Amino acid sequence: MISDAIETTQCQQKDPVDLFHSGHFVKICAPMVRYSKLAFRTLVRKYNCDLCYTPMIIAADFVRSVKARDSEFTTSKGDRPLIVQFAANEAQVLSDAARIVCPFADGIDLNCGCPQRWAMAEGYGACLINKPELVQDMVRHVRNQVENPRFSVSIKIRIHDDLKRTVDLCRKAEATGVSWITVHGRNVEERHQPVHYDAIKIIKQNMSIPIVANGDVKTLKDAENIHRMTGTDGVMVARGLLANPAMFAGYEETPLKCIQDWVDIALEHGTPFTCFHHHLMYMMERITSKQEKRVFNVLSSTSAVLDYLNDHYGV
């Protein structure tokens, strides 16, 4: 579960909230199911990413099962600052999960934004934006039961059609001690519609804690523009980083050096082939022709991928 991290102690922990007072907007790698794992976090940290999230983990499974803990949460000494994102709908379960990861991470995040039907049917994700008292209860429990005062507790939300309800949710969360709030600027029904950056700006204007903007960020320039437009303290990126892990370092498309770094890191971490290959498909999307994609995307072994990269790109 925790590679090379047993020596990590709470006294080494930095307060991730300090990042938001560093004088520049915080560049954040979003929680991404299957993708924001240790190897990928290691890669984006090499290219100016300030803060990384784990994929969403179901807190009840994590607390109940050692097997779930070992497969879902892997970290190392260099993997900081790190936020572990949980899906939860019970205060004590979230608190128990937070206590387990506390020595190995800098904070936890409660997912209040996942719009997938299965998550909402289980009482997880975006349905929580309609249950502000439950969100408060969960935050309060973690705050009261995790002994380290520097351990952050954040939430990631979507917006309501009636923005007053979103502002009310955020104020209630702030009053209970939430460290910061990430706002994905779409409602539960929206997928590829334009992001409501004006809504994120209004939320920011109504809050004292840091607010992070999320949604449709493809380049560093996009991130800078959104930061300026909304006044937010950080910008969180998902698909933009999958397509270009070097995005925060100012690269318009994935440089070959980044592809080489991914190969080295993935092999070192023993990344399963499917994950290794999928990341490369995303990274090379913009730099390969349709014909090249037809060949590359059906390769079925690590050695075939390495041969292809060596033959075509000298990687």
| Domain end call among 246, 267, 287 | 246
Domain around 39: 16-246
Q: Which residues make up each annotated binding site for FMN?
A: 31-33, 85, 184, 238-239
Query: Both 275 and 182 in a single domain?
Result: no
Count up the domains in the chain and report the number. Answer: 2
Plot region of 78 (φ>0 → left; ψ -120 to 50 → alpha; else → beta): alpha
Q: Which residues make up each annotated binding site?
A: 31-33, 85, 184, 238-239
Query: Both 266 and 219 in a single domain?
Result: no
Query: Both 163 and 302 in a single domain?
Result: no
User: Largest Cα–Cα distance of the chain, in whole Å?
Assistant: 58
Query: Both 100 and 138 in a single domain?
Result: yes
What is the arithmetic mean of pLDDT over 183-210?
96
Does 11 fall in a domain? no
Query: Both 242 and 283 in a single domain?
Result: no
Does 275 fall in a domain? yes
Query: Both 238 and 276 in a single domain?
Result: no
Does 101 fall in a domain? yes
| Domain end call among 222, 246, 270 | 246
pTM: 0.95
CA–CA distance, 81 with 16 (Å, rounded to integer)? 7
Q: Which residue is it, tokens 């387990």? A: 100
Query: Both 206 and 281 in a single domain?
Result: no
Does 210 fall in a domain? yes
| Domain end call among 246, 276, 303 | 246
Q: 191 pLDDT band (50/70/90 cuts)?
A: confident
Query: In the predicted model, is pLDDT for residue 289 greater than 80?
Result: yes
* Cβ contact 98:138 at 8 Å: no
CATH of the domain at 137: 3.20.20.70
Calculated CA dihedral for residues 132, 136, 142, 145, nearest 10 degrees? -150
Burial of 78 (0-12, 13-18, 19+ CB in 10 A): exposed
Query: Both 158 and 293 in a single domain?
Result: no
* Cβ contact 113:126 at 8 Å: yes
List 102, 112, 114, 258, catalytic entry: 114
Does 41 fall in a domain? yes
Query: Both 178 and 266 in a single domain?
Result: no
Please confirm, yes or no, whether 114 is among the known catalytic residues: yes
Query: In the predicted model, is pLDDT for residue 5 greater than 90?
Result: no
CA–CA distance, 249 with 272 (Å, rounded to integer)? 27
Q: 220 pLDDT band (50/70/90 cuts)?
A: very high
Query: pLDDT (tens digit, 9 = 90+) per residue, 38-65?
Result: 999 999 999 999 999 999 999 999 999 9
Query: Both 140 and 160 in a single domain?
Result: yes
Query: Both 301 and 213 in a single domain?
Result: no
Does 158 fall in a domain? yes
* Cβ contact 120:126 at 8 Å: yes
Query: Both 164 and 261 in a single domain?
Result: no
Query: pLDDT (tens digit, 9 = 90+) per residue, 246-281?
Result: 999 999 999 999 999 999 999 999 999 999 999 999
Query: pLDDT (tens digit, 9 = 90+) per residue, 144-176?
Result: 999 999 999 999 999 999 999 999 999 999 999
